[in-house]
Amino acid sequence: MTTNNDALDGECNGNQAQTSSPRKGATPQKERSPQVNGGFLNIHKPAGMTSMDVIRIIRRLTGQRKVGHGGTLDPDATGVLPICIGRATRFIDRFVQGRKVYRATAVFGSSTDTYDASGRVTAESDPTEITRSAIESALPGFIGEISQVPPMYSAVKVKGVRLYKLARAGEEIEREPRDVVVYALDITSWEPPALGLRIECGSGFYARSIIHDLGHALDNTAHMTALVRSQVDRFTLDDSVTLEELERETEDGDWERLVYPIDAALMDLPAVVLDPIQEEAVGYGEPVQLVEGAIESTESEIRAYNRAGELIALMGYHPALCRLTPIRVLIAR
């Protein structure tokens, strides 16, 4: 997040560069890149790098210091990786907790220790008896609120240690099943023994696990061979940009045109416009009283704007009291 102090530091350094020369023998200070107020990038993550690798590249390309991502993708997976910059990092959870859509490819006949093609084969079986009808009969058991055991090769922490670190050390431990939600699970292709799936799910879900478990449900084995995340909340693969495209835009000095405003993550919520007195109260973290009927919504969260059309806060809404309470404030007093 860019603070007033950051802005002042930048101005002072710039003025010094114009009015004085560096001391002899001193190492010239690298000029800081201007920090954007806040927003999101819809990045198409390539295979072969971690989500944190993407963060490091974006920091280097754009010069932005406060950068985060809205939901980890496995190194071999590709697709939508929402990137949060500046004040938008306060809204990472909107993506992490939001709906996601994946396109996954599974192959029956073998399972691996990672549940995907990168791992060591742990079991093999004959998949020739598996039919599309059998798969269609098994899929409803994986839709809705289900319990899912995360893979050993995952970022889930057990007693403060990432599971993948234990797995790399040759350890395998019991994992507690976690409740996840699968909204839709559809077959997109069936070319035995390869199965294509479209998965719409909530947070904490592992596509690798559902494929591994589907193999067991069919008295067989299976592992994932490809995974593409085609949507996270409102961000889609069709609208995403590659790191190469971002690099070209940074070289042209025009990369900020790719940045979505902060409220892009909140457009599913109703909005209200506050007057200057109410805006000042929100800046101090104080609740705002509304007249009855000002908001016709049962949503518990509201986007609050000032009269200039600027998003100033995410507010909690209490319909019975006609009151707004600040949750995340984007203006400072």
Query: Over 70: is that where the pLDDT of 152 sits?
Result: yes
Residue tagged 């742990």 (tokens): 122
Query: Over 50: is that where the pLDDT of 333 sits?
Result: yes
Rounded to an integer, the average pLDDT of 48-60 is: 95
Q: If we measure between CA atoms, which residue out of 312, 302, 107 comes closest to residue 215?
A: 107
Burial of 145 (0-12, 13-18, 19+ CB in 10 A): exposed
- The pLDDT of residue 295: 80
Share of the chain above pLDDT 70, in %: 89
What is the spatial distance between Cα 114 and Cα 111, in angstroms, rounded to a whole number?
9
Rounded to an integer, the average pLDDT of 205-234 is: 96
pLDDT band, very low/low/confident/very high, at 32 (cuts 50, 70, 90): low
Of the listed ranges 32-36, 77-81, 91-95, 250-254, the least confidently predicted one is: 32-36
> Catalytic: 74?
yes
Query: Over 80: is that where the pLDDT of 296 sits?
Result: no
pLDDT band, very low/low/confident/very high, at 5 (cuts 50, 70, 90): very low
74, 213, 233, 263: which is the annotated catalytic residue?
74
3-state SS, residue 43: strand
Segments making up each domain of the chain, as ranges: 4-16+33-97+235-263, 100-232, 269-329
CA dist list (Å): 68 to 4, 19, 89? 21, 37, 6
What is the spatial distance between Cα 311 and Cα 331, in angstroms, rounded to a whole number?
9
The better pLDDT of the pair 148, 96 is held by 148
pLDDT tens string 255-285: 999 999 999 989 989 999 999 999 999 999 9
Phi then psi dihedrals of residue 275, to 5 deg: -85, 170
Q: Which CATH class is domain 269-329?
A: mainly beta
Of the listed ranges 30-34, 64-68, 98-102, 235-239, the least confidently predicted one is: 30-34
- The pLDDT of residue 94: 83
What is the spatial distance between Cα 64 and Cα 3, in angstroms, rounded to a whole number?
13
What is the spatial distance between Cα 249 and Cα 268, in angstroms, rounded to a whole number?
29
- Structurally, at CATH architecture level, domain 100-232 sits in 2-Layer Sandwich (3.30)
- The pLDDT of residue 31: 62
Concatenating the DSSP letter of every residue in 282-330 gives HHTT--EE--TTS-----SEEEEE-TTS-EEEEEEEETTTTEEEEEEE-
What is the spatial distance between Cα 197 and Cα 129, in angstroms, rounded to a whole number?
19
Contacts of 178 (CB under 8 A, 6+ apart): 147, 148, 149, 150, 156, 204
User: What's the pTM value of the predicted model, to 2 decimals?
Assistant: 0.83
Rounded to an integer, the average pLDDT of 152-177 is: 90
4-16+33-97+235-263: CATH topology: Alpha-Beta Plaits (3.30.70)
Query: Over 70: is that where the pLDDT of 45 sits?
Result: yes
- AA identity, residue 35: Q
- The pLDDT of residue 297: 78
Query: Over 70: is that where the pLDDT of 29 sits?
Result: no
What is the spatial distance between Cα 286 and Cα 274, in angstroms, rounded to a whole number?
13
Query: Over 70: is that where the pLDDT of 69 sits?
Result: yes
What is the spatial distance between Cα 101 and Cα 111, in angstroms, rounded to a whole number?
24
Decide if 100-232 and 269-329 have a common fold.
Answer: no
